[in-house]
Amino acid sequence: MKALPTARKTLPELYSRRHECCGCTACVFECPKKAISMEVDEEGFLYPVIDAIRCIGCGRCLKICTFKLRIKTAIDN
């Protein structure tokens, strides 16, 4: 059977460590494809999770995340 071509899509990384996300949900409301949902972690805190099928890789969720921007600015200065 012939293998189907695989389309590689880079999903945005909303946070790599938990302190990079405050759970504000701004990214959820910014996403034009409704690809982000908030899910509860094992400690009961909400974090955004991206649906890879719905995501089109537009990057709007990363741009709206001022919390991440604030952390980066604090580290750079």
- Residues found near ligand SF4 in the complex (CB under 6 A): 12, 14-15, 21-27, 30-31, 33, 35-36, 48, 50, 55-61, 64-65, 67-68
CB of 77 to ligand SF4, least distance (A): 20
52 close to 22: Cβ distance less than 8 angstroms:
no
CB of 40 to ligand SF4, least distance (A): 13
In the bound state with ligand SF4, the residue whose beta carbon lies nearer, of 6 and 35, is 35
DSSP 10-50: PPP-S-SSGGG-----HHHHH-TT--EEEEE-TTS-EEEEE
